[in-house]
Structure 1
Amino acid sequence: MRKLHLKLLLIALVLLSLTGCWSKMELPERSFIMSLGIDEGRNGNIRLTAQLYKPNPGLKGRGGADTFVNVQSEDESMFETVRDLSLHMGRKVHWSHMRIIVIGEAFAKKRGLEEILDFFYRNSEIRLTSYVHIAKGKASTYMSTKPLIENTLGQQLLTIQEVAYKYSGKTANVTLHDLGFQLKGQVDDAMIPYLYRSKKITETTPVAGAALLKRGRMIGKLSSKDMESVLMLNDEYVRGVIEVPCLNQPNGKSKKKETIQVISTSTQLSPEIKKRSVTVKASVTIEGTVTELKCSQITTSEEEMKFINRVKEVVEQDMQKAYKELKRKKVDVINLGNLIYRRHPALWKSIKEDWHEIFAKSQLEIHTDVKIINTGTTVGKSVLSEEK
């Protein structure tokens, strides 16, 4: 009995020492940011366009009412601008649901990202898994775009970017966490998915290509085609399509192309340095399936090898073109400098200061191994071919 009394007394003391939820904040007091647009405001201020979740739409929500609302604020610093958002909503900003940050191209070129990123990395509420995009024009214009399928623009842009990265290799996959590693590496170059407007068929907001950053400031961009090769060199290429032009096509007619669906890739980079001259040897392995045949046959081992050699030629030409573009801009986003630092830290110390000039004069040698897993049918030629 005495032991039971002692246990009860101990439990009571523990319960009395526990603090209550004196600083708790209920849901009606919070305002959840889904996506954030950043532009330059008046007199050099920072202008934020926050897309906020609109709770409890009631019966109107079933009829297609917006589930979000946009609020703007402007001030000299990020933190004060964020605090000013509460003046318009009467609720404290909450970051746990933020999907994406969109930065206007003019802001990224003129002022760079360092002054705004410092706020995000210091804020414990912000998830480093939030994605970062740079947009053509002003970020605020994208915040007012209605999503085609998803409930919010942030979710819509996120799904577009993920699909473009995973299934076509036409853009990068960069979160706040990834961007921090790029900017704080031995080479402070970075690339971020590029967002723009398209009115070819319907008004959409594709994510394709990438904005290139040097010391946090945008200095140019990569096309979606070059992006495929850069991802392959980075060993980040997941899936995509390789187009192989048909040979000996008549002039003046639309050029036919055969296609390969890439199932998997693997790339190993081996830099060789001799007297501050760098040669990069890239070993690339590609596995894919034939998805279109218009002018080739793969019915014998000789025909298969001939087709594979044409695929190799296309892949290597595209890689060399993308690599030359990076050298021209003197932007190392294939982590070559970081690779040299990890393998040869003493050597890297002697070339770090001049790395961008050394990179601009480097050479790329590519060895490609292509494996055709499947031709899609039991016939290794065009399924509509009249040849028997």
Structure 2
Amino acid sequence: MKRPFVFALCICCLFSLSGCWNKFELTDWAFVQAIAMDGSPDGKVQLTTHFYKPGGGGSLEGGQQGPSAFNITTKADTVFEAIRDIPLRLGRKAQWSHMRIILISDQLGKTRNIKELTDFFMRDHEPRDTVTVVIAKGTAKDYLTEKPFIESTIGQQLREMSRSAARLSSKTKDVDMLNLAIQFKSQTGIAMLPYLYSNGFPGEALSKLAVLKDGKLVNDFMNSANVESLVILRDEFDFGILEIPCSGDSGKKETIEVTSLHTKKRVTTDAESVSVRFDTKIKGSFSEIRCTSALNTDAENQVVERIRVYLEKELRKTIRLSQQKKLDLLGIGDWLYRHRPELWKKWKPGWDNRYAKADFDLHIDVEVVNSGVLISKPYYE
């Protein structure tokens, strides 16, 4: 009696096992690598979708290589409608789980709220939170027509450029969908995205930041020097090189490879004002020596002081710039929201003006670990 019962139970279990119930076959999908969003004269969103072409990199007759990707352009009032129009031109359904990067033109970012433009990709289950998001100067779709240097598609190439630029140079930020969603929840309404621009592609493709206020692009004034200073102040400096001018008007510069950099922020408040102190500790090694010679104790102290003075000047320049624009790029408002919620509730309506009048104090500690050679002087002397 037990055997028929066990057999029946096994049959029931087999029916309960999950299987592949998706009605789409592999040949029904087209895998997205990147998208570019632009505006159009009629006020609609122009969506250029960059698809990976399976087998496109294989050899054809004559030993030539076929294209590994192609672009489809659609236009509609909303992003989702433009996406649903893709099968009309392609004959396949777009699949978003392999998407690498989203490019949004700066002109579109000034007229449309970027929160709305990215809403579909944050809600849909297919796009991953790790998709990189950047602002592109000019027409965003033009960047998707370029050929990649080493990656299979330009979408993957741009994504790797964004990640490496932030990690290895600290002249920009690497922002993905998850990070952007967190920035959109900022109490000050400030968000920052990498700024992609072309001066003979790739040129200096990623060494700026685009600043958003309440979801709209308000400025692209953050050049590479400002970004380095901003990243230092926000304690987000990962790795990079600092160029330190020599004394006098020679125009020469020496380079320091930063091996360790940490910044601590301390905020104090009274009844009507706020003061912020930054303590920055930097360790680094000389990479190029052009005007420093014989680093004995006195000479080393002079070099350290020259580095400290220069960095303080650059940091203060970035702080003044953010205060002039009344843009809290340093996250002071978010700190107050977390640590002084009652005070922040009172200050939030007029925070931009209060931030512009805030006092900032900088304390920088520099340590030169080594000069890279036994003799600390220019090798050609």
The TM-score range, normalised by the shorter chain, is: over 0.9
Match of 1:363 in 2: 359
Match of 1:80 in 2: 81
**CA–CA distance in structure 1, aligned partners of residues 272 and 148 of structure 2:** 51
State the AA in 1 paired with 2:59.
L
The correspondence for 1:376, drawn from 356, 372, 375, is: 372
Match of 1:174 in 2: 175
Contact 2:59 2:66 in 1 (8 A): no
- Evaluate the alpha carbon distance shift between residue 20 and residue 294 of structure 1 in structure 2; reply closer, same or farther with a 3 A threshold: closer
**CA–CA distance in structure 2, aligned partners of residues 54 and 112 of structure 1:** 32
**CA–CA distance in structure 1, aligned partners of residues 276 and 2 of structure 2:** 75
Match of 1:25 in 2: 24
**CA–CA distance in structure 2, aligned partners of residues 278 and 267 of structure 1:** 19
**CA–CA distance in structure 2, aligned partners of residues 151 and 144 of structure 1:** 13
Q: CA deviation at 1:362?
A: 1.3
Match of 2:320 in 1: 324
Say if 2:34 is the partner of 1:38: no
**CA–CA distance in structure 2, aligned partners of residues 49 and 120 of structure 1:** 15
Query: Is there any run of 5+ residues in structure 1 with no aligned partner, and where?
Result: none
**CA–CA distance in structure 1, aligned partners of residues 305 and 281 of structure 2:** 13
Match of 1:351 in 2: 347
Say if 2:161 is the partner of 1:163: no
Query: Is there any run of 5+ residues in structure 2 with no aligned partner, and where?
Result: none
Q: CA deviation at 1:316?
A: 0.9
**CA–CA distance in structure 1, aligned partners of residues 16 and 182 of structure 2:** 43
Say if 2:245 is the partner of 1:245: yes
**CA–CA distance in structure 2, aligned partners of residues 73 and 33 of structure 1:** 14
> Which region of structure 1 is more displaced relative to structure 2, 203-212 or 174-183?
203-212
**CA–CA distance in structure 1, aligned partners of residues 306 and 3 of structure 2:** 84
CA displacement 1:188-224 (0-9 Å, x = unmatched): 101100001123xx75461111001000100102111
The residue matched to 1:374 in structure 2 has which SS? Answer: coil
Q: Percent identity?
A: 35
State the AA in 1 paired with 2:236.
E
**CA–CA distance in structure 1, aligned partners of residues 375 and 332 of structure 2:** 43
Match of 1:191 in 2: 192
**CA–CA distance in structure 1, aligned partners of residues 140 and 60 of structure 2:** 29
**CA–CA distance in structure 2, aligned partners of residues 85 and 358 of structure 1:** 48
**CA–CA distance in structure 2, aligned partners of residues 27 and 36 of structure 1:** 21
- Evaluate the alpha carbon distance shift between residue 384 and residue 342 of structure 1 in structure 2; reply closer, same or farther with a 3 A threshold: same
**CA–CA distance in structure 1, aligned partners of residues 4 and 230 of structure 2:** 71
> Which region of structure 1 is more displaced relative to structure 2, 226-235 or 355-364?
355-364
Contact 1:171 1:224 in 2 (8 A): yes
Match of 1:53 in 2: 52
**CA–CA distance in structure 1, aligned partners of residues 3 and 300 of structure 2:** 83
**CA–CA distance in structure 1, aligned partners of residues 330 and 30 of structure 2:** 39
**CA–CA distance in structure 2, aligned partners of residues 19 and 304 of structure 1:** 69
Q: CA deviation at 1:56?
A: 2.3
TM norm structure 2: 0.95
The residue matched to 1:352 in structure 2 has which SS? Answer: helix
State the AA in 1 paired with 2:302.
K
The residue matched to 1:287 in structure 2 has which SS? Answer: strand
Q: CA deviation at 1:178?
A: 0.6
| Superposition map of 1:1-388 within 5 A | 2-18=1-17, 21-57=20-56, 58-60=58-60, 63-199=64-200, 204=203, 206-221=205-220, 222-249=222-249, 255-385=251-381
**CA–CA distance in structure 1, aligned partners of residues 115 and 212 of structure 2:** 11
Q: CA deviation at 1:336?
A: 1.4
Q: CA deviation at 1:5?
A: 4.2
The residue matched to 1:247 in structure 2 has which SS? Answer: coil
**CA–CA distance in structure 1, aligned partners of residues 356 and 80 of structure 2:** 39
Q: CA deviation at 1:26?
A: 2.1
Q: Give the superposed CA RMSD.
A: 1.7
TM norm structure 1: 0.93
The residue matched to 1:59 in structure 2 has which SS? Answer: coil
**CA–CA distance in structure 2, aligned partners of residues 287 and 144 of structure 1:** 42
**CA–CA distance in structure 2, aligned partners of residues 291 and 308 of structure 1:** 15
State the AA in 1 paired with 2:212.
L
The residue matched to 2:42 in structure 1 has which SS? Answer: helix
Q: CA deviation at 1:7?
A: 2.9
Q: CA deviation at 1:3?
A: 4.4
CA displacement 1:332-355 (0-9 Å, x = unmatched): 222211112111111111111111
* Number of corresponding residues: 378
Contact 1:297 1:381 in 2 (8 A): yes
The residue matched to 1:357 in structure 2 has which SS? Answer: helix
Contact 1:298 1:307 in 2 (8 A): no
Q: CA deviation at 1:4?
A: 4.6
- Evaluate the alpha carbon distance shift between residue 291 and residue 93 of structure 1 in structure 2; reply closer, same or farther with a 3 A threshold: same
